[in-house]
Structure 1
Amino acid sequence: MSNYCRMRVAGGTWFFTVNLHDRQSDLLTRNIVELRQSIRKVKQRHPFEINAWIILPDHMHCVWTLPANDSNYSQRWRAIKKTFTKSLSGNTTVWQKRFWEHCIRDERDYQAHVDYVYINPVKHGLVKIVGEWPYSSFHRDVRNGLYPADWAGKVEAFQAGERKAGG
């Protein structure tokens, strides 16, 4: 049995991919209210900043920043997964055991990963433009002036880290 070791950086900013066990399922979007409640509950007990988040039917991508004195993102993911699973009746094998994490190195790396989060529903063919996908912090970032509403409107012109309005 392998011993998996994760990097620890107190106050770090992290990109995550978390998958359902059944990659053909729409469990996350079908139970969006329960998922959001689970995230809120865990965030109250174990704070973190949500920099970007996209919820797709069978997986999620997000970027978080942990508090300055804290490096335990695994504890948060365990709690989110457990809380969400408990909110569903009779479902025991909901999640893949592991998740993918990447420690953000600099501003360019940060921007590339946030852009990747937001373009994901287009990449998977769920919508034609980023703003059409409802389960995304992209809408918050548009309201806050960080992205134009028509960002990445022409996906064929998209490059990670690029923010041209309309394409």
Structure 2
Amino acid sequence: MIFVPSTSQGQKKLPWPHAPLHQLSGRGTYFVTAGTYLKEHFFRTADRLQVLHRGLLSVARDYEWQLEAWAVFSNHYHFVAYSPQHEDSAESLSAMLGLLHEKTAKWINRLDDSRGRQVWHNFWETKLTYQKSYLARLNYVHQNPVKHGLVVIANQYPWCSARWFERVARPAQVKTIYSLKVDRLKIYDEYEAADEW
């Protein structure tokens, strides 16, 4: 639970209910979702999606997070990634996403002449500890453009990992992962992606 400091002596600290608690103490594989402020479609065009997509891949590389699946949309993104091998925790995730959000927010605000506007809301992460849960979330992320009605086949969406995955994975791996059901996963994804790209 995140606490706000008390304002006067003797008062107890109050729980802060609006921010998710980031539990990043252990190294491992994480499923991450981040959304824009008020679910605004700041990354609505192909050029804007490309900047966010390239930014995510770049910060993951720079922070040594191994991306295994990703999907970027006009108002949110998801990814599955393994934390850096040389670290005992996943605490660099906050810094990595902080940098991505800072740089993309400044870029979008400069583009829209809206200096200081809040672009990003927050991120949610889940540490994946069971293989079936991990594999199902890989499929969920790869297939997310289909879920949002943007394409019929996931590999047609330029800002997700499905095409890359189908190219680098063995056919049996692709078949296995794509066969996993994702309709029962408990994933916060209450976003409507903009269909123009």
TM range (shorter): 0.7 to 0.9
Contact map agreement 1:18 1:60 (CA 8 A) in 2: yes
Contact map agreement 2:33 2:76 (CA 8 A) in 1: yes
Q: Which residue of 2 aligns with 1:56?
A: 73
Q: Does 1:12 align with 2:32?
A: no
Q: Does 1:121 align with 2:141?
A: no
Q: Once the two structures are superposed, what CA deviation does each residue of 1:73-120 show, in whole Å capped at 9, x if it has no partner? A: 111111110011122213422111x21211001211110111111121
Q: Does 1:82 align with 2:98?
A: no
Please state how far the C-alpha of 1:137 moved relative to its aligned partner. 1.0
Contact map agreement 2:29 2:80 (CA 8 A) in 1: yes
Please state how far the C-alpha of 1:22 moved relative to its aligned partner. 4.2
Q: Which residue of 2 aligns with 1:135?
A: 159
CA distance in 1, matches of 2:45, 2:36: 12
Q: Which residue of 2 aligns with 1:94?
A: 119
**Of 101, 106, 110, which residue of structure 1 is paired with 2:134?**
110
Contact map agreement 1:34 1:87 (CA 8 A) in 2: no
Task: Give the match's secondary structure for 1:99.
Answer: strand
Change (3 A) 1:124 1:40: closer
Q: Once the two structures are superposed, what CA deviation does each residue of 1:4-47 show, in whole Å capped at 9, x if it has no partner? A: 53212432110011111242515165412322343344335422
**How many residues of Structure 1 are paired with residues of Structure 2 in the alignment?**
153
Contact map agreement 2:143 2:162 (CA 8 A) in 1: no
**Of 153, 160, 166, which residue of structure 1 is paired with 2:182?**
160
TM-score (norm 1): 0.78
Task: Give the match's secondary structure for 2:37.
Answer: coil
CA-based RMSD of the aligned residues comes to 2.4
Please state how far the C-alpha of 1:147 moved relative to its aligned partner. 2.0
TM-score (norm 2): 0.68
Q: Which residue of 2 aligns with 1:164?
A: none
Change (3 A) 1:21 1:105: same
CA distance in 2, matches of 1:101, 1:29: 26
**Structure 2 letter corresponding to 1:85:** A
Contact map agreement 1:14 1:101 (CA 8 A) in 2: yes
Task: Give the match's secondary structure for 1:27.
Answer: coil
Q: Which residue of 1 aligns with 2:174?
A: 147
